[in-house]
Amino acid sequence: MMVSPAGKPQSFFHPTVNAIVSHFQNPDMQKSQGIRLDTIIAGNKVNQLKNRLEELDAVEDARIARTTFYDQMAEVGQKGWWESIEQLNAHEVTIFEAWLSDTCSKMRHHLNQLENGAPSSLGRESFGV
């Protein structure tokens, strides 16, 4: 396994030992049907694994972006508790509005749970306080 200058992993391999051995024993002989089939199957498996890795990378990138966004929301939300909203810039106001919306949604959900007889399991931390 090697990493390209762009940071992408690269793998160089041959799918079966038999293919390598037969190549050295008879370099002019064409590959057998079984070896060609093994090569195709291994190539398909590599492509499936590569696609799955790309999916997982996308999920991880989304998780990192979401975590960063929530951290910013929490920072602006905590900032907003004691600072005037006039001191926030446009981006901070947008984040603060999202934080308020999220907090209201959590409070409505918690109220519905309490009205339905669910035990209280949310503390002040759940609302970013």
CA distances from 72 to 67, 91, 103 (A): 9, 10, 14
pLDDT of residue 90: 85
pLDDT of residue 119: 63
Question: What is d(CA 112, CA 121) in angstroms, rounded to the nearest whole number?
Answer: 13
84: left (phi over 0), alpha (psi -120 to 50) or beta: beta
What is the CA angle 59-63-69, rounded to 5?
A: 145
pLDDT per residue as tens digits for the range 69-117: 888 777 766 655 566 777 778 888 888 888 889 889 999 999 998 988 8
Domain boundaries, the chain: 14-127
